[in-house]
Amino acid sequence: MAVSHPPEHPRQAAQATRQAIETVFRMESPRIIAGVTRIVRDVGIAEELAQDALVAALEQWPAQGVPDNPGAWLMATARNRAVDLVRRRERYARKLAEVGRDLETAPAQAGPLEPADPDAIDDDLLRLVFIACHPVLSTEARVALTLRLLGGLSTAEIARAMLAPEPTVAQRIVRAKRTLAARAVAFEVPYGPDRDARLGSVLEVIYLIFNEGYAATAGDDLVRPALCEDALRLARVLTALMPEESEAHGLAALLELQASRTATRTGPAGEPVLLKDQSRAHWNQMLVRRGFAALARAQATAPSPAGALGPYALQAAIAACHAHAHSYEETDWQQIATLYGLLAARAPSPVVELNRAVAVAMAQGTEAGLVLVDALTAEPVLKDYHLLPSVRGDLLERLGRTDEAHAEFERAASLARNERERELLLARAADCWAGSGRGARPAESASCEGA
């Protein structure tokens, strides 16, 4: 039964309906694309058919009301159009005629008008992850395509997540879909050596999806829980499929432990809450226990007992150090610095070095950490990375170099795309200015005063 809108508020009702459509589509589009890809065997066409379903909703729902199960409505509409497309092609090509007959006889495809069962579509999502991570695509293209198809991220959000220019990411996505179609890549979960070869890319993609939900690169919200839940679910499905794969368990452990803090990462008004200020009593203990268990499985399935943990398991071990500490002050920073050293050896990157610098500053002193951070200021890949000046500003502030810290926090704020992060950084810049004894800030920075 459709929901009727109060006739006395047609404009508000239309706006509410449009917002409902956009919200539902953002949540359901990965499942719709995955389900339709199983029919048309082309992710590009599947994405277009999902968009067609969105247009149909925009046309029909304002007049007819939002259906009781909007996700199933969108799925059924997209699937119907996919079946129509395949049947039209049957008349022109023998291969597509065979696909059409399969659709008519396969039990999973019986009754295209039936609402999709969200619990039965996980395998389709996993197939979509593996097809987006196919070896015919570059690593960058695999990550970008999967974030687009499964994370529902915009091109701009993916560009920020990958520290890459937006036009470059847009080109990667278009070329990736063309390549998959041209190579007729099968919509299936690979097995044997092929699956092992593609696992690293799959893990990276799931991790990036989680990170986008844990610390959104843009927008008004710092945290996007739906993305975290999608990544967690994919990681759990992956560990079930690959119970002997240490890094799959390592990634699952990392995500479980980080997700345990999600509720405490923002305050009542959505403002960021730094790790040292978070209430550990409100960390989700069920997720902490799941993280510990997954980390134990990662260690048990590692190739050898010592020093063999992969990058995700090492990061999970770092997250476990935080989870074990009863307070920020009791954190074993020396152990964390050691683990970051192992991680830098296994998977070197400027971002890992930046995180290691923070741990070193806590374990060995602020000056020691600042030396490592200063060495990263010439890294091209970090040129527009707002966390580099943010970390440097924090260390400078601890050393009493408030003028320099103020400049670094303002630079970090100018680079931040997330509004909540920008507000926090501007507030820290203002605190530095006040701490320098200069009182009110200069006129050219007045626009930042209210942030």
Residue 234 within any structural domain of the chain: yes
The pLDDT score that the predictor gives to residue 66 is 83
| Pair 399, 300 in one domain | no
| Pair 219, 165 in one domain | no
| Pair 222, 297 in one domain | yes
Q: What is the dihedral of CA 37, 38, 42, 44, to 10 degrees?
A: 0
Residue 440 within any structural domain of the chain: no
| Pair 252, 298 in one domain | yes
The pLDDT score that the predictor gives to residue 144 is 86
Residue 340 within any structural domain of the chain: no
Which residues, in sequence order, are CB contacts of 62 under 8 Å at separation 6+? Answer: 13, 14, 17, 18
Residue 368 within any structural domain of the chain: yes
| Pair 168, 305 in one domain | no
Task: Give bridge partners of residue 266 from the DSSP assignment.
Answer: 272
| Pair 409, 283 in one domain | no
Task: Extract the tokens encoding 432.
Answer: 């530095």
The pLDDT score that the predictor gives to residue 27 is 79
Helix (H, G, I), strand (E, B) or coil at 266: strand
| Pair 74, 140 in one domain | yes
| Pair 43, 162 in one domain | yes
pLDDT per residue, tens digit, the chain (451 aa), is 444 454 456 677 777 777 788 788 877 888 899 889 888 888 888 988 998 998 898 888 888 888 888 889 999 999 999 988 888 776 555 555 565 556 566 554 434 444 444 444 457 877 887 888 888 888 788 878 887 887 777 788 778 766 678 999 999 999 999 999 888 888 887 877 777 777 888 898 888 888 888 887 766 777 778 778 878 888 987 888 788 889 999 999 999 999 999 989 988 888 889 899 999 999 999 999 999 999 999 999 988 655 588 999 999 999 999 999 999 999 999 999 999 999 999 999 999 999 999 999 999 999 999 999 999 999 999 999 999 999 999 999 999 999 999 999 999 999 998 888 899 999 999 988 776 555 444 333 333 223 2
| Pair 159, 226 in one domain | no
**Domain span at residue 283?**
211-331
The pLDDT score that the predictor gives to residue 333 is 96
Q: For the chain, what percentages of helix, strand and coil (3-state, to nearest 5) are there?
A: 70, 0, 25
Residue 197 within any structural domain of the chain: no
Give the Cα separation of 272 and 207 in Å (integer).
21
The pLDDT score that the predictor gives to residue 148 is 84
Q: What is the dihedral of CA 412, 415, 418, 419, to 10 degrees?
A: 70
Please write down the HEC assignment for all residues of 193-243.
HHHHHHHHHHHHHHHHHHHHHHCCCCECCCCCHHHHHHHHHHHHHHHHHCC
Does the global pTM surpass 0.85?
A: no
For residue 309, CA distances in Å to 212, 319, 325 come to 25, 14, 22
Residue 325 within any structural domain of the chain: yes
The pLDDT score that the predictor gives to residue 101 is 58
Residue 106 within any structural domain of the chain: no
| Pair 242, 370 in one domain | no
- Phi, psi dihedrals of residue 315, rounded to the nearest 5°: -65, -35
- Could you tell me the CATH number of the domain that includes residue 380? 1.25.40
For residue 200, CA distances in Å to 27, 80, 194 come to 26, 35, 11
Residue 364 within any structural domain of the chain: yes
Using the structure block, give the residue that is written with the tokens 């050596």. Answer: 193
| Pair 364, 409 in one domain | yes
| Pair 140, 38 in one domain | yes
Residue among 397, 386, 325 nearest 361 (CA): 397
The pLDDT score that the predictor gives to residue 165 is 86
Total domains in the fold of the chain: 3
